[in-house]
Amino acid sequence: MKEALRSWLFFSLLVTVLSLGGTFCPGGEEVMVNPSFTQQREIYRFIQGFHTGLDDREEWELARIIVDESRRYGLDPELVLAMILVESSFYHRAKSAKGARGLMQLRPFVARVLAKEMGIPWQGKETILDPSTNVRLGLHYLSKLILRFRDLKLAIAAYNYGPSYVKEQLRRGKPVPTRYAERVLRNYRLLSRRLSLRSL
């Protein structure tokens, strides 16, 4: 009963956020026909419904990074938003009990390896807490997991539980926990219906 109530409250909040609009829209009317700009604007408006800990310009930059990095890895922006929503509710300084940090909740030892792969200078937790860098690292990691497991649901599960754990579960013929992945994918479907970023 409590779980059902929490789910109902969560989705009620999400629907409310999706109905909100934004006021900060730099660039001028001449760029409004640019699909990337339009996606960025819609993502920015969505982000504004959350307590991010960022100012307007930082939120606008975050929206741009989400658009650019989604395109880089061939991912739908709605999937990226769903991941961030579940991981941190868009609070850029979020920290889990296990030490995962930032928008996409990366643990420092994982983030450090990813940063090295991407040629990003490592400056400890400040690297993880930078919103743009956190999203870049998180999507690089997710894309690697998608290539490794060849299955989006398994890749999302591995993002949460760790690829070694998921690989071992599969090797032993045991089920992989899917509650986290199902929550992300449920939000992905909802956001796809509400935002329709792919059609912009």
Q: What is the pLDDT of residue 125?
A: 87
Q: What is the pLDDT of residue 21?
A: 44
Q: What is the pLDDT of residue 166?
A: 98
Report how far apart, in Å, the C-alpha atoms of 45 and of each of 20, 64, 81, 127 are: 7, 12, 12, 26
CATH code of the domain occupying 2-22+32-199: 1.10.530.10
Q: What is the pLDDT of residue 199?
A: 52
**Tokens encoding 12:** 């009620």
Low-confidence spans in the chain with pLDDT less than 50 = 1-6, 8-9, 11, 15-23, 27-32
Q: What is the pLDDT of residue 30?
A: 40
Q: What is the pLDDT of residue 15?
A: 46
pTM of the model: 0.82
Q: What is the pLDDT of residue 14?
A: 53
Q: What is the pLDDT of residue 195?
A: 85
Does residue 101 sit in helix, strand or coil? Answer: strand
Q: Which residues of 162-186 are buried (b: 16+ CB within 10 A; e: fewer)?
A: ebeebeebeeeeeebeeeebebbbe
Beta bridge partners of 101: 95, 106
Domains in the chain: boundaries: 2-22+32-199
Does residue 196 sit in helix, strand or coil? Answer: coil
Q: What is the DSSP string of 21-54?
A: -----TT-GGGTT-HHHHHHHHHHHHHTTS--S-
The shares of helix, strand and coil residues in the chain, as percent rounded to the nearest 5, are: 70, 0, 30
